[in-house]
Amino acid sequence: MAVMRKRFVSSSAGEEDTNLWENPHTSESDQPSEEHPYASLLCCHNIQDSLLSSNSNFTGYRGILNWIIILLVLTHAHLFLENFIQHGFLIDVRKVLGHLIEDSCNWPSVNLLLAANLFALLALYLEKTQEKGVLSSTTSHRLHLINLGLLLLLPAVVIGYEPRISTGGAFFSLWFYIILSLKLYSYQETNCWYRQALLEAARVGSVTQTGHNENLTLKDLYYFLCAPTLCYQRDFPRTPKVRINKLLHRLLEMVVVIQIMVAIVQQWIEPIFQKSEKPFTSMDITLRVKHLVGLVAPTHFLWLLFFFLTHSYLNFCAELLCFGDRHFYGDWWNAQTLISFWNTWNIPFQKWINRHVYAQLVERNVSPTKAEFLVFLMSAALCEYLVALPLHSCRLWIFLVMVSELLVAVFLGNSFQGNYGNGLVWLCLLLGPPLAVTTYFHDHYIGSHHHSRSISAPLASDHRVFLQLY
């Protein structure tokens, strides 16, 4: 150590080393030709940012993510244990079946699903008659629009005026009819484009005759109706064969996810509903906020599970039908803006609305900004319609929440970028449409619960009178 200290003192006392420390920006010509033997010990600082600084470009947050996951698991395990001690075991599949089972002699939702085949067959018939030249393109288009209008009107009439239809049957029927209407609109519109392209090719002489469309068959139509897509084309990309192991894997995923969703609803959400005796419209602001805060976590988990259930179902259908295009969603969890999230979380609907609404509006000289705004309003109105009609409660909460998210995206999109933008997206998902949907179910639950109590109260009073007389 003494020898090293002497060497260090003697070498650091030199004039060259003194100048080096006094003027660290000395040019290379002024520096000594030989590197100092302890240069790595003398210079231990560089210009660099802290890892958690926004300028550091550091991305290794896996350990923090693991910590958050463990903390969430432990926190919600505590909540589940507290819920179980307070309420007991509440999971009962028979309650779910009660919302699906209808009258043993009259099944309105099943009849609706069977009647939907008539609209599909009529669409195929109109395409065939137009292909043969019996109907003009204008007449066929008008008849298609009438067919689609009746297709949208029928479930609304049945759900609104048929008291025997169950809540689950109403939801499933309405969603089925909406998807069918989107598919049939794409079916007639795309076939019209094929005919126009063929006529244009025949006019310029590249094709001698128009020929006959061999795709106008029941097999082709029903393959499209069952395929996990909303946009029609004559030749879909296909996979070589059905993989049975993948099919069973997706089926098991759906069964497990449905069981977890039922458990969250009955064990977590329903006790919160039971604590409130008034609908949200009759609550004061503090009580309303209290119930909403309690519903944020289970509602968000339920929404995430619903997304995964959709993922499993669409891949199950694609595997069963050998449907090749399985790009059903993008990495919406990394979206840094709400607009990016809306464009990536539901690719089939995004393709349909860009192809058949946005592009058509732009072709009619509507500005792209106005077209995007109209498309968004259509999506918000459709979400409101899908939830409000089966529950017989139209309060525009979902529509207004989505419009408020649009305002957030327009006015705050430039202020929140990168990780901050992604945090804003997740905040809107926590406090946005999923929570608004839950408020509809809350008021429906309160209304049906009060209705059942009002019916049982006269029966109980009559029973007490009968016992007194006896």
Where do the structural domains in the chain lie, given as residue ranges?
A: 107-235, 333-431
- Judged by DSSP in three states, 81 sits in helix
Whether 99 has a pLDDT exceeding 70, the answer reads no
Alpha-carbon gap, residue 265 to 91, rounded angstroms = 9
Confidence of residue 444 (pLDDT cuts 50, 70, 90): confident
Across the chain, what does the average pLDDT equal?
A: 81
- Helix (H), strand (E) at residue 135: none
DSSP class per residue in 17-46: HHHHHH-TT--TTTS-SSPPTTHHHH----
What's the distance, CA 195 to chain centroid? 35
Q: Of how many residues is the chain composed?
A: 470
Q: Which of 346, 329, 307 is nearest to 179 (CA)?
A: 346
Alpha-carbon gap, residue 438 to 387, rounded angstroms = 10
Tell me what pLDDT residue 211 has.
55
| Residue 357 half-sphere exposure toward CB, CA atoms < 13 A | 18
Tell me what pLDDT residue 460 has.
43
Alpha-carbon gap, residue 264 to 387, rounded angstroms = 20
Tell me what pLDDT residue 220 has.
92
Most confident of 171-175, 201-205, 439-443: 171-175
Tell me what pLDDT residue 410 has.
87
CB of 113 closer than 8 Å to CB of 176: yes
Tell me what pLDDT residue 186 has.
94
Residues 6 or more apart in contact with residue 358 via CB below 8 angstroms? 371, 372, 375
Tell me what pLDDT residue 25 has.
45
CB of 350 closer than 8 Å to CB of 343: yes
Tell me what pLDDT residue 114 has.
92
CB of 442 closer than 8 Å to CB of 280: yes
CB atoms inside a 10 Å sphere around CB 326? 17
The DSSP 8-state label assigned to residue 354 in this structure reads I
The single-letter code of the amino acid at 261 is M
The structure tokens listed for 151 are 């297709």
- The pLDDT of 401-419, averaged and rounded, is 86
Alpha-carbon gap, residue 20 to 38, rounded angstroms = 13
pLDDT tens per residue across span 280-317: 877 878 888 888 888 888 899 999 999 999 999 999 99
CB of 326 closer than 8 Å to CB of 313: no
Phi, psi values for residue 88, rounded to 5°: 80, -170
Q: Which of 320, 343, 321 is nearest to 330 (CA)?
A: 343
- The pLDDT of 149-159, averaged and rounded, is 92
Handedness of CA 238, 243, 244, 248 (dihedral sign): negative
Whether 7 has a pLDDT exceeding 80, the answer reads no
**pTM metric for this prediction:** 0.80
Alpha-carbon gap, residue 416 to 423, rounded angstroms = 9
Alpha-carbon gap, residue 389 to 264, rounded angstroms = 24
- Judged by DSSP in three states, 213 sits in coil
Residues 6 or more apart in contact with residue 151 via CB below 8 angstroms? 116, 119, 177, 180, 181, 184
Confidence of residue 132 (pLDDT cuts 50, 70, 90): confident
